Amino acid sequence: MRIDDETLETIRSRLKTELTDSAEILLFTTDRMTGSCDNRGYNDFADQLLDAIADVDRRLSVRRLDLFGDEGRAFGLSLSPTLLIGAQERFPVQFHGAPTGNLGGAFIEAILMISRRDPDLTPESRRLLGTIARPVTVECFVAPDCAYCPAAVDLGARIAFSSGDVITFRSIDITQGMDRALLFDVASVPHLVIGEDPSTALVGVPREEALVGALLGR
């Protein structure tokens, strides 16, 4: 599984021209089998993607870590590869599974959003997110060939970044992590779940105010 040269050049060009401030990317992998498929090709894909962006700008920090090492265990990770995006030692945006297909664009958008330090939410959404006191996780189940999934991932990532240390967002590719999707009866994507509670499921791309409202209802 390889990324074609034209796509790699497009990614590098966007980062060179649109990166505003620092962004950190952690890649967690293991040689052991994880998830619902052979992860070796996906590990290689993630490696190639990070190789392509590692030297684009000195403000981009890339680290490769052991999924089952101390940091991987601290984040509670179990799928290889998993990529975390953040800044200043905060990693609110997680991609569980290599961001292939349409998810590649969502991955780059998350890096650029974090580098801008601007999640582009309405003032009311920011105010309401500031009232959430307890940590909560939003999981978004996606697929690489889904045309609507990038929009759902983008919204979840922006909300998580806006919340400070309160919300963690996980984009989970069902083709790589089907075992996790089965726990929540995921039948179509995008499918969002809040706080590991199946009753909170939002199917499709929610409006900003709907997802914020669902988070407040937790």
pLDDT tens track for 60-102: 999 999 999 999 999 999 999 999 999 988 999 999 999 999 9
Sheet order of strands, 60-66 included: 60-66, 23-29, 82-87, 90-96, 167-173, 136-142, 191-194, 197-203
For residue 132, count other CB atoms closer than 10 A to its CB. 16
pTM of this structure: 0.95
Domains of the chain by residue range: 5-216
DSSP H helical segments within the chain, as ranges?
A: 5-18, 40-53, 70-74, 103-116, 123-129, 149-162, 178-183, 208-216
For residue 214, count other CB atoms closer than 10 A to its CB. 17
**Is the predicted pLDDT of residue 2 greater than 80, yes or no?**
no
User: For residue 218, what pLDDT is reported?
Assistant: 62
The Cα 120–Cα 108 span in angstroms is 16
Residue 25 bridge partners (DSSP): 62, 85
User: For residue 48, what pLDDT is reported?
Assistant: 94
**Class of the domain covering 5-216:** alpha beta
**Is the predicted pLDDT of residue 159 greater than 70, yes or no?**
yes
Average pLDDT over the chain, rounded to an integer: 94
Q: What percent of the chain has pLDDT over 70?
A: 100
